[in-house]
Amino acid sequence: MVNSVVKKIVNGDVRVAAKLIRDIDDGAPGTREILKALYRHTGNAYIIGITGAPGVGKSTVADQMVHALRKNGKTVGVLAVDPTSPLSGGAILGDRIRMQRHSLDEGVFIRSLATRGQFGGLTQSTRSAIDVVDAMGKDYIIVETVGVGQDEIDIAKSAHTTVIVVVPGMGDNIQAIKAGIFEVGDIFLINKSDRPDAEKTLNDLKAMIDITRKRFKKEGWEPPILMAEAVGNKGIVELLNEIEKHRKNRKALSRESIIRHKKAIARFELIDMIKSRLVEEALNHIINSLEFKKYLDCIIDGTKDPYSACDELLSAKLNFLEDENTE
């Protein structure tokens, strides 16, 4: 079963690949075994992350990039992540609207993903989805995320080149970027640059890159700031050129620093994977137990405080955890 699924995906079977991504998202049993077998077919695609606040034009930029890459004969996968409603658990995934013209192109695979996960699950399922599309043999994979929150920063770390998209006239836009995602940007794109204040945004970005210049110097790459009007297909060729330059720059690093870089990413991804499985399994183990319900009642009764309930539950259910107070 596993082998035939893997074979089909490697041969580019869209249906089987799409179904696997769905199963990964749904946490269906058996997907892990397939991912294990699929992994050795990955590592060939070049992964580009596109991130930025809602409305800055990420999907339009992605659409134009797909168009340009297809002109060069490259195949492309697009993973477009949209937020899940924290209230209902539902989501509206609307990124395909901007990429309609590629819907009948067999060299393009577009997939929408909802953030869903509550324990860093987004990072895990998106990374697995990247693996699936990678194994399908796509030359490029564009991962589009709303640049808010740790998960999204983590995804950006997995991309080979991360493009941060901003628009002029949104001071808040840059404020949000300050909070962390900024540091993972390899290329900055000021979209809708025909708008007033584009110059000011450029200066703001320059100033901020100055602050983190040290890190960039070490890697021999200073993030360029580009102007674009994605709707009119302006600035996209330049963007792709810079991505190519960044790719070459990565390749040109010394062997040691490439290995160091790879090791850092592998370490980070493995820890992340362990973390999310650990949390998911441990949490399920605890919250589905009778004790959990009992402790919950005790808190409501007022016979137990939540701090003691937490400590006691943990030491009862996860016996390898030592009591904090005995240390």
Partner 1 sequence: MSNRRRIKVLISVIGLDGHSTGAEIVSRFLMDAGMEVVYLGIYQTPEMIVSAAIQETVDVIGISSHASNYEQIGLLIDLMKKDNLNDIPVICGGTIPKQYAEALIKKGVSKIFPPQSTSESIINYIVSSVKR
- Which region, judged by CB under 8 A, interacts with partner 1, from 65-73, 102-110, 184-192, 211-219? 102-110
**Beta-ladder partners of 108:** 76
Provide the token pair at 114. 């909802």
Q: Cβ of residue 130: shortest distance to partner 1, in angstroms?
A: 15
**CB closer to partner 1 out of 28 and 207:** 28
d(CA 8, CA 260): 34
Establish if 92 lies at the interface with partner 1 (CB under 8 A): yes
Establish if 273 lies at the interface with partner 1 (CB under 8 A): no
DSSP assignment of 123-191 equals HHHHHHHHHHHHHTT-SEEEEEEE--SHHHHHHHHHSSEEEEEE-TT-HHHHHHHHTTGGGG-SEEEE-
Q: Cβ of residue 6: shortest distance to partner 1, in angstroms?
A: 18
d(CA 274, CA 262): 18
Establish if 94 lies at the interface with partner 1 (CB under 8 A): yes
Establish if 88 lies at the interface with partner 1 (CB under 8 A): yes
Per rule CB under 8 A, count of chain residues that contact partner 1? 33
Establish if 28 lies at the interface with partner 1 (CB under 8 A): yes
Binds partner 1 by CB under 8 A, chosen from 11, 44, 85, 308: 85
Provide the token pair at 249. 């720059």
Q: Cβ of residue 111: shortest distance to partner 1, in angstroms?
A: 6
In the Cβ-directed half-sphere of 294, how many Cα atoms lie within 13 Å?
A: 7
Binds partner 1 by CB under 8 A, chosen from 22, 32, 213, 262: 22
Query: Which of 66, 90, 244 is closest to 144 using CA atoms?
Result: 66
Residues 104-143 that bind partner 1 (CB under 8 A): 104, 109-112, 114, 116
Cβ count within 10 A of residue 287: 12
State the residues that interact with partner 1 by CB under 8 A.
14-15, 18-19, 21-22, 25-28, 84-85, 87-94, 96-97, 100, 103-104, 109-112, 114, 116, 280, 284
